[in-house]
Amino acid sequence: MKAMVLKGISSFKENREPLQMLDLPVPIPGNREVLIKVSTCGVCHTELDEIEGRIPPPRFPIVLGHQVVGRVAETGKGADRFNTGDRVGIGWIYSACGKCEFCLQGNENLCEDFQATGRDADGGYAEYMTVPEDFAFKIPEAFSDSEAAPLLCAGAIGYRSLRLTNIKNGQTLGLTGFGASAHLVLKMAKHRYPASEVYVFARSEKERAFAKELGAVWAGGTEEESPVKLDCIIDTTPVWRPVVEALKNLRSGGRLVINAIRKEDLDREYLLNLDYPAHLWMEKEIKSVANVARRDIIEFLDLAAQIPIKPEVQEFALDEANNALVELKERKIRGAKVLKVSKVS
């Protein structure tokens, strides 16, 4: 099978093609696993974190990709949840122990044995991959393969982030950064909390215009002050400045939810600008989002089909994965980037 493979940590400043196209054996599904013929795979900022060493995979070579849509091609021994030909998706959560207190509470994302697709196990930048059947999810008919791919991470993690804000209908919501996840959060918020106004902070004028197209009542630069203080803000950026700036726009008792698996070191010194009275006092909160649980993917796919949420996507061929990653690195973003891996009949 064809696969885009990462052989080691790399810097985009020195290497704009960190992935190599290789021919690999088609994997064989183990006990209670399914073999997936991959149709599409979303491109996520987390892949940049893996490539550049902020969350390095434990082994190399590795096939990245954790927003995977495809069809079941084969089932392993004891696997009975799906039939051959079923369309399924795989997100960042590849497996968990199933026995610890977090797993038993439905918070597998906090399990010490959490395994990530495309980091701890080969992912979807390939024509085939295997996954434990309990961590594959049926894709609603409302979505094409390309539309479904970003829902599995950008959408699901956005759903978890929105849930963790504890927002109530009528309260104000801020979004800082406006890429794949944030544009889906805005669509969710407009549906679930119709009396709530959404304010967007984004670097580029194109992103701000896009936010207004989708229903934001206001869109400004990262360092601008919003017209009103906000009840909650979700940060989806890879850097620190928007975090500090967002805290200035929170009202007393407000909550900032940081939707990022890692922050880059480009502007770490900006944290020195953090001023307790101006940014954190008056019982403001900061909460991080750690991955996703199965519940998030299941509930979000159902919600997305009801609304329905149709993500904006840019499609690339599998062998163009490096180009898609470079564009993501350079913040050339409108919606979500998706690899068309193979045609599935």
Q: Convert the pLDDT of each residue in 151-160 to its tens digit.
A: 999 899 999 9
- Of 90-94, 180-184, 234-238, the poorest mean pLDDT is in 180-184
Dist. CA 194–CA 81, nearest whole Å: 37
% of the chain beyond a pLDDT of 70: 99
- pLDDT class of 33 with cuts at 50, 70, 90: very high
CA 315 to chain CA mean position, Å: 17
Residue 211's contacts (CB-CB under 8 Å, 6 or more residues apart) are 175, 178, 183, 186, 198, 200, 202, 219
pLDDT reported for residue 266: 79
**Mean per-residue pLDDT for 110-137?**
98
Dist. CA 49–CA 262, nearest whole Å: 7
Select from 228, 225, 282 the least CA-distant residue to 255.
282
Q: Convert the pLDDT of each residue in 8-30 to its tens digit.
A: 999 998 899 999 999 999 999 99
What's the mean per-residue pLDDT of the chain? 94
Q: Beta partners for 42? A: 338
Residue 344 has pLDDT above 70, yes or no: no
- DSSP per residue over 165-210, as a string? TT--TTS-EEEES-SHHHHHHHHHHHHH-TT--EEEE-SSHHHHHH
Residue 333 has pLDDT above 80, yes or no: no
pLDDT reported for residue 271: 85
C-alpha torsion sign, points 261, 329, 203, 215: negative
Fold of 156-288: Rossmann fold (3.40.50)
Dist. CA 124–CA 26, nearest whole Å: 13
Residue showing tokens 């979004």: 175
Q: Convert the pLDDT of each residue in 252-304 to its tens digit.
A: 999 999 998 888 877 888 888 888 998 989 999 999 999 899 999 999 999 99
Entry pTM = 0.90
Dist. CA 38–CA 33, nearest whole Å: 15
- pLDDT class of 180 with cuts at 50, 70, 90: confident
Longest dimension (CA), the chain: 59
pLDDT reported for residue 238: 86
The distance in angstroms from the start CA to the end CA of the chain is 17
- pLDDT class of 218 with cuts at 50, 70, 90: very high
Q: Convert the pLDDT of each residue in 303-326 to its tens digit.
A: 999 999 888 899 999 999 999 999
% of the chain beyond a pLDDT of 90: 85
Q: Which helix (H) or strand (E) holds 295?
A: helix 294-306
pLDDT reported for residue 181: 86
pLDDT reported for residue 270: 81
Q: How is the chain split into domains, by residue range?
A: 2-139+312-340, 156-288
Kindly state which CATH superfamily the domain 2-139+312-340 is placed in.
Answer: Medium-chain alcohol dehydrogenases, catalytic domain (3.90.180.10)
Residue 143 has pLDDT above 90, yes or no: yes
Name the token pair of 195. 């009396």
- pLDDT class of 226 with cuts at 50, 70, 90: very high
Residue 345 has pLDDT above 60, yes or no: no
**Mean per-residue pLDDT for 54-73?**
97
**Mean per-residue pLDDT for 83-112?**
97
**Mean per-residue pLDDT for 218-234?**
97
